[in-house]
Amino acid sequence: MTLVRLLWRQRALVAVLVRRELNARYRASVLGFLWSLLNPLLLLAVYAVVFTYIFHPRFPGGDPYPLFLFSGLLPWLFFSGTVLDSSVTLIDNGPLLAKVMCPPEIFPAVTVVSHFVHHLLALPVLLAALVVAALAGWHPFPMTVWLLPVALVPWLLLAGGAALGISALSVKFRDLRDLVGHLLNLLFFSSPIIYSLDGLDAPPWLERILRLNPLASLVEVYRGVVFTGAIPGIRLWLVALAVGLAGWILGALIFVRFRDTLVESV
């Protein structure tokens, strides 16, 4: 709770640094912040072409597949982008951390918030695609989409905890920066993002292992409210929330453990 209170007190500084981060990302680009809409739109267009005319995956309740995939990919891009950037955020901001004496918690928080802003800017593309699919008769519009803010809570908790823990560990163990990308690849393919656990043609033992993936519940809850249109069961909600809380607590404990020595190590 001390960490949360500190971040709340420093919310103005977080907002300034998030603005700086977003401006730096689009500086010297012609379209600027429009890329936040164009990137997911182009991504969805590529998936629509590839998985409509080249590959034809079939899962129960997974049609149209491009929307099925996109609804699982959006939260993953938020999470994976946060984790990747958090592995270098304290190191990249080392001079600022040492000279200005900013609380080190600020920089993982900035990473989470900046990627969350990108996620929010991508949501209109998903919603527009759902409307088009409904009007064309391809897929009914999910009336459960109003639950999206609740479905995002476990993702925010998990991403926040991961950013705190990995940012601190990356300062102490520099090899972690190189391992993070490979670990994310393994986590991506073991999560029900490009496939459905219900329609997976795999041995029972493998399916049981995949269901133990902590991200599985988060993906299923998110996809359930923005694509399937069925409110996930209370057990699935509780599992997703428990995973998010566990990720936040673990990451916060790791960060607090190394906090006092971070400035000298960057």
For the chain, the residue count is 266
pLDDT surpasses 60 at 61 = yes
Q: How many CB atoms lie within 10 A of CB 68?
A: 24
The pLDDT value recorded for residue 118 is 87
Highest average pLDDT, of 39-43, 185-189, 247-251, comes from 247-251
The pLDDT value recorded for residue 3 is 67
Question: pTM of the prediction?
Answer: 0.88
Mean pLDDT, rounded, of the chain: 83
Q: Say how far apart CA 123 and CA 144 lie, in whole Å.
A: 15
**How many CA atoms does the CB half-sphere of 198 hold within 13 Å?**
9
Task: Choose between 86 and 55: higher pLDDT.
Answer: 86
Nearest alpha-carbon partner for 39 in 121, 111, 116, 115 = 121
Chain mean position to CA 131: 23
Nearest alpha-carbon partner for 36 in 112, 146, 115, 100 = 115
Highest average pLDDT, of 17-21, 37-41, 106-110, 245-249, comes from 245-249
**What residue type is 212 in one-letter code?**
L
Q: Say how far apart CA 207 and CA 54 lie, in whole Å.
A: 27
pLDDT surpasses 60 at 21 = yes
Residues 126-162 have pLDDT tens digits of: 888 899 888 888 888 999 999 999 999 999 999 999 9
